[in-house]
Every structure is written in structure tokens, then in C-alpha cells.
Amino acid sequence: MHKTNKSPVLTIIAFVLTFGLIYYAGKNIDDMEKFIASWGYAAPFISVALYGILSITPIPTDPISVVNGALFGPVVGFLTSWMGNNVAALIEYVLGKGIGSVTHFEDKKKSLPWGLSNAPVNSVWFLIGGRFVPGFGSKIVSILAGVYSVSVWRYIWTTAVANVVGAALYALGGAEVIKFLSK
């Protein structure tokens, strides 16, 4: 029985979908904000789903956290942002696990240059602190944690701790911006 390798086809599909989402989001960011607000009580769930969708793209989700604070207020905005960032991080971790598996990373890890085979990806300090690097820090940490096969439990709790800080800052900031602008 002949086993086919679907990895190249799936990789191409993922890239096409990713760039399609990037293009759409870039052209329609105002429409996405209106779409979320139009869902009423279901809007926080739509927002969490949007985090998950954007997790497979290089688009940062920080602006959504600010919008959540502005739309839902500080408490619901914080909770929505925290849950959304955790969902996104878990999807990125699974993506990293897939990359590690497809590339047979564990077999090739010892031959990495510049001592990268000994990168402290499993370190609590890296898993929490790396998320505070502006821009793509959290995405890079998530994908590397998956590629380097960090234990799921360690990954989840460190992600949840780091995301509390980020969600609070952005959601509270969004709520305060709305208060300031409404004066």
C-alpha cells in the first residue's frame, strides 16, 4: 500500500489561507470592529474566535484587545482578551508541534548552528518573558515551544500567566481611551 505525503499540499493551502486572511484583515479592520460589536452578547465569543483565526497569521492580536476593552468595558474586555490570547497561543503551539513533526526537528536539533539546540525554550523565564517582546514575541514563543516540544502543562500555565498582564494592559487601556474620548 502506497502512502502519500500530504505535507506540501497542506503547507501551500496554509500559506494561501494565511495571506488571504492578512489581505482581508488589512483592508477591512474597521468592518471587523463593527462586525464584532453587532453581535451583542455573543460578541465576546466572536472576538475569541477572531483571536484563533488570526493566530495562524503574522497579524498581532493586540489591537483586538484594545477594541475589546473599548467595546465591552474593562472587566469583560479583559476576560475576552485573556481567553482569546490563550486560544491563539494554544493554536500557535499546536502549529509549532506540527512544524516540529513535519521537519523531524528532534532528529535535526543537535546539528543546529550557534548552539540553538540548547536554546532555553523550556525555561519558565523564556516562556513568560518572551511574550513581552513587542510585536511577534508571543507568536515566536508559542511556535518555538511547540517545535521544541515543551510540555503542554508548562506551556499552558506560563502562557496564562503572561497573558493576564497583556490582556489587562490592553483591555484597560481600550476602556480608558473610550472614557477619555467621550468627555
pTM greater than the 0.85 cutoff: no
Q: Judge whether residue 1 has pLDDT over 50.
A: no
Q: What is the pLDDT of residues 149-181, one digit of tens each?
A: 888 898 899 999 998 988 888 778 777 776 666
- Three-state DSSP string of the chain: CCCCCCHHHHHHHHHHHHHHHHHHHHHCHHHHHHHHHCCHHHHHHHHHHHHHHHCCCCCCCHHHHHHHHHHHHHHHHHHHHHHHHHHHHHHHHHHHHHHHHHCCHHHHHHHCHHHHHHCCCCCHHHHHHHHHCCCCHHHHHHHHHHHCCCCHHHHHHHHHHHHHHHHHHHHHHHHHHHHHHCC
Q: What is the pLDDT of residues 68-98, one digit of tens each?
A: 887 888 888 889 999 999 999 999 898 888 8
Q: What is the pLDDT of residues 108-125, one digit of tens each?
A: 666 665 766 666 777 788
Q: What is the pLDDT of residues 62-74, one digit of tens each?
A: 778 888 887 888 8
Residue 9's pLDDT is 63
